[in-house]
A and B are shown apart, each in its own frame.
Chain A
Amino acid sequence: MHKSIYAYIFVMAVVSYLIRVFPLAVIRKPITNKYIKSFLYYIPYVTLTVMTFPAIIYATDSKIGGIAALAVGILLAFFTRNLFVVACGCCVTVLILSFVI
C-alpha cells in the first residue's frame, strides 16, 4: 500500500505544479475571454465553501461544536480577515465546548 500512496502523492505534486507553472511559463499575455476569467474568478469561493460545509459539522465529536466553530469562523473571518485568528478561533471554540458539553 505504501507504494500506491507515493503514486498518489506524485500525481498530486505533478498536477499542482503544472497548474501553477503553465500560465507563468506559457501565457505571457492576460486572458481576455470574459467568461473564462469570471469562471476562474468564482471557483475558489465555491470550492472552499463546498469543502467547508457541511464537513465542518461532522469534523468534531459533537455536531454542536462543529456548528459553533462554523459560526465563530464566519464572524471572525468577516471582522478580522486574519487567517491565523480565524483558524485558532475555530479550534478554541470546539475546545471550550468540549469541556462544557
Chain B
Amino acid sequence: MNEKATVKSKIFLKGMKDGAPIGLGYFAVSFSIGITAKNTGLNALQGLFLSLLNNASAGEMAGLSSIAARTSLITLAVVMLVTNARYLLMSCALSQKFSPDTPFYHRLLIAFDITDEIFGIGISYHGYLEPAYMYGAFLTTIPMWAAGTVLGIVVGNILPQIIVNALSVAIYGMFLAVVIPPCRKNKVITGVVITSFVLSYISKYIPFISKTSESIRVIILTLIISGTAALLFPIKDDEEEEKTNA
C-alpha cells in the first residue's frame, strides 16, 4: 500500500512538472484576458470566478464579448457551445484513455479542466491515464490561469499604457500557437486556416454578416468552413492519432 502511494505521488509530481510551462503560458495569456475583462466591466472577484470556472481562453474571450454586447443568456450559451465545441471531441478521445478500473468520479473531476494544452499532455500520457497525473498538472495550471486574470484586472490599468498595449496581443499569440504548428504536416488544415483568414477578413465587409456581433460572426464562419471541410476532406483515423502525438 505504501509503495502504491509512492508511485502515485511520483505520478502526481510528474503532472505538476509537465504542467509548469503550460502554467507560465497561461499566466501571460490570462493576464491579457484580465485586461479585456476589465474593459468589459468585470471586477477582480468576477474575473476570478470567470477564469476559475471556465478554463477556456477562446471561450472566455467570446463570453466577454457577449457580456460587452449584453446578449441574451441563450445567445451566450450558444456562443459558449460553439467556441468550446472542440472540447467535446477532446473529451471523447480522452474517455478512451481511462482504465476500466478508474472510479467514475475521476471522470467528473478531470472534465473540469480539459483545455487544449492539458488535453495534449493527457492524451500523450503513456498507457492508461492516471488521474493523479492530471491533478498534478491542474495544480500548476489552474491557479496560474486564475491569478493572471485577476492580476490583469487589478494591475492592468496601473501598468503603463505601452505595456498593456503590448500584452493585449498575448491571447492571439496563444491561438496562433494552437493553429499554426499542425500546418507543418497537414495540408488540409493549412487550407482550412488560410480559408479562415481570408473569409474572416472579407466577412468584416460583407453587408449582412459585418452587422452581426463578433460572436455570431465566429459561429457562422465556424459552421460554414468546418462543415465544408468535413464534407470535402473527411479525416482518416490515423490523422487523429497524429494530432494527439504532436
Residue numbers of A with Cβ under 8 A of B are 1-2, 4-9, 11-13, 15-17, 19-25, 27-28, 30-31, 34-35, 37-56, 59-61, 65-66, 69-70, 73-74, 76-78, 81-84, 86-95, 98-99
Contact = CB atoms under 8 A, between A and B. Distances in A.
B229 interface: yes
Interface stretch (B2-10, B11-19, B150-158, B169-177): B169-177
Contacts of B176: 48, 52, 70, 73-74, 76-77, 86, 90
B87 A20 contact: yes
B156 to A, nearest CB: 14
A54 B81 contact: no
Nearest to A90: B173
B166 A92 contact: yes
A87 B168 contact: no
A13 to B, nearest CB: 4
Given A20-B87, A83-B177, A90 B172 contact: yes
B20 to A, nearest CB: 11
A94 B88 contact: no
A25 B98 CA distance: 11
Given A19-B87, A49-B193, 4 more contacts: A19-B88, A25-B111, A47-B83, A48-B179
Interface residues of B, number: 103
B11 to A, nearest CB: 20
Interface of B: 21-22, 24-25, 28-29, 41-43, 46, 49-50, 53-56, 58-63, 66-67, 70, 73, 76-77, 80-96, 104, 107-108, 110-112, 114, 116-117, 161-163, 165-184, 189, 192-193, 196-197, 199-201, 204, 214, 217-218, 221-222, 225-227, 229-231, 233-235, 239-240, 243
A12 B60 contact: yes
A20 B91 contact: yes
The list of the 7 closest CB pairs from A to B, nearest first, reads: A13-B53, A77-B180, A90-B173, A38-B230, A23-B91, A49-B196, A21-B111
